[in-house]
Amino acid sequence: MSFKELVGKKISKKVKFMEADVEIVKLTKGQVTEMQAMIKSQEGSEDEEANLEILISIIKMGAPDSEELTAEDFESFPLDELNTLSKDIMSFSGMAADVEK
């Protein structure tokens, strides 16, 4: 298989969310760069809404089945479950150093 044939290929795995198996995918280089910029722009911020938006963006990019969920849908999930899912996505995508901050 050539490198060209790998363009756009998604790598996925199953993780637990709310005691159910959900599929997450590795973020692309462009998505990782976008997430790092969003995280950096909010460093030290106490703005809970902005931090929640970052969390939701990470999950929507990394968990394809969540793309159709609304902000209200995300509000119905426990915060620790959302945080764990976000950390799983970021770690799986090579952003482990950002997860530790």
Higher pLDDT, 81 or 38: 81
Report residue 3 CA to chain centroid gap.
26
Give the CA dihedral 56, 23, 30, 35, nearest 10 degrees. 30
Q: What is the pLDDT of residues 41-86, one digit of tens each?
A: 888 777 788 888 999 999 999 999 999 999 899 999 999 999 999 9
How many whole angstroms separate alpha carbon 27 and alpha carbon 18?
22
Q: Which residue has the tokens 């770690």?
A: 91
Helix (H, G, I), strand (E, B) or coil at 101: coil
In this prediction, residue 101 carries a pLDDT of 44
| Domains of the chain, residue spans | 3-100
User: pTM for the complete prediction?
Assistant: 0.84
In this prediction, residue 48 carries a pLDDT of 82
End-to-end CA distance of the chain: 38
